[in-house]
Structure 1
């Protein structure tokens, strides 16, 4: 189930926003925050799918919180502002991936914004997963390269011979090249 952080200065405004989201067909677990500081603590404690900031807040306007949420989490971020200032606020935060919606809200615009926020979150999640995969691959390559250096220095092998040795050991022992590299490095330490 989706988790949504709803940040609003007043409890009755929070309740109205939650009712509006439910009337738009949103089925999610809602978490309230009544100030920017409280919202920042919630963002540290939990991962949210969506952060909805109803500006202004009691301790700040709210655009800084929206930018922080966009940078430090994978959540889609919606910032609600008065219609008169929505364009000016949007210029400040759109490069950070924050969607600005003018108040008063309408269902069609909210549906569109929710779909865009979900799409952005999905894309960010995919990019983060790809980034982790590539970081792991780089770490594995570095590990194997360090083992090759040990074989070159200690055993007088050439780089192609060290590479072939690690690959052959991996095949013969039915282990990965990283496991063989770790064994070589452990042996070198002793």
Structure 2
């Protein structure tokens, strides 16, 4: 069952001993913001937890393509043409060396794709795209701002690590030395729980 942020928020309230709904020390809005902030951190460390397959409509007659800025963090792979064949990972340097004018070729179904250096959302396809070509792409989205009851699509076993992040953020607001130490401890716990998910990633 996919994770809702209400679950780690509830766990965090238990750790914070802040379970009296009549007088919470930390507001629902604050803890929800911390939970959403945790997702922003997680997507940078373990992007594979957030992978999605999407349909991307190519810009016609162009070799260079780009995902929507602000919606996607990175392109992972171009899998295939919708309703058509696979698209393989190519080598732009080799193509440039042996066929310098390839970007001006006649449009046709994509055969190869290549990343653009230092830009995670732009990519090249060869040959340039015909009208209406749709590619199935694997991407890393920018995490949405979820409500507590929204389905995040993440596995439920992420609840504890997100709760650790919430506790770390909540307790870091307190200036007491012992509380700041607890905040640091829970922040470290959050990172350590992410580490097994990052093996081979």
TM-score greater than 0.5 by the shorter chain: no
Superposition TM-score, scaled by structure 1 size: 0.24
Superposition TM-score, scaled by structure 2 size: 0.23
Structure showing the higher strand proportion among its residues: 2
Q: Larger relative contact order (C-alpha < 8 A, sep ≥ 6)?
A: 2
